[in-house]
Amino acid sequence: MRVAYLGPAGTFSEDALEVSRFAPETFEPLITESIPAAIEAVAAGGADRALVPVENSIEGSVRPTLDGLIEQADRVRIAGEYDHEIRSALIGRPGQAPEEIEVVISHPQPLAQCARFLRLELPQAELRVASSTSAAVREVATTDQSWAALAPARAARLYGCEVIREGIEDEPGNATRFLWLAPADAKDPDGADGSGRGGSWKTSLAFAELGADHPGALVDALYEFSNRDINLVRIESRPMRRELGRYRFFIDVEGRAGEPSIDAAIEGLRSKAEWVRNLGSYPTS
């Protein structure tokens, strides 16, 4: 099985993949330069699965994942989820002192998750964005400037650096929810079709264009679920990327497609929205 994820080696995505209950004992890694590229690899048939971050307990949703799921909704579906504890480390070249650090570089998520630490402990440092945490460590390893990176501690060993401080995230219990993606036409991906299985299930949906703007339009759409006693566990809006004031909505509900109440609610939602996309039904983490 070929599995796509955000690289290079040493990212939080790789950490999560190594311990995820979905990952097979042996797999061929396909390291991508971005989250959308990992999703596209599954859509185009270059990978059998992908593991991508979608939500962090401190910073909220990972927008490239949401946008990528919409773009590839006809070819990719969510087959599972996994909550992974995130512990960030401040990483520099051997012998580097914190007071010498002039630049801290990382992916936008860790920079935001460690904002208080950076503000209080490294007020002199300029913050810069990298494509991934491990790409940031790789830059630190190859520069002769006083730079440091935020990344998993294991990335320090991979690139010949050392951990200056560990556990620097702003809140204890920092965790990221990852999604296990499969081709839309995959049959029973990893046992995620519900046959012969109990436990809790979740269905992720996206929808937009609720007709002419009027008071209660979103409430009317969501009533299709509350009226059937279906619990809504998450909702988020994202711009349509065409003009101000137009949004698409992402929701997670308890239950799975194939259950009469879920299917009826989705059909009811289709009568309220111009388009509805089922992003997948899968066991809860």
Catalytic residue among 11, 32, 176, 203: 176
Catalytic residue among 178, 207, 225, 250: 178
Contact by Cβ (8 Å): 151, 136: yes
Question: Using omega within 30 degrees of 0 as the cis cutoff, is the peptide bond preceding 8 cis?
Answer: yes
User: Is 176 in the active site?
Assistant: yes
Whole-angstrom distance, CA of residue 177 vs CA of residue 3: 17
Whole-angstrom distance, CA of residue 127 vs CA of residue 131: 14
Q: DSSP letter at 98?
A: G
Burial of residue 101 (number of CB atoms within 10 Å: 0-12, 13-18, 19+): buried
Beta strands in the chain (DSSP E): 2-6, 28-32, 49-56, 60-61, 76-85, 89-92, 103-106, 126-129, 147-151, 162-166, 175-183, 201-208, 232-239, 247-254, 275-283
Alpha-carbon distances of 228 from 67, 80, 183, 245, rounded to whole Å: 29, 24, 30, 30
Query: Which residues are marked as active site?
Result: 176, 178
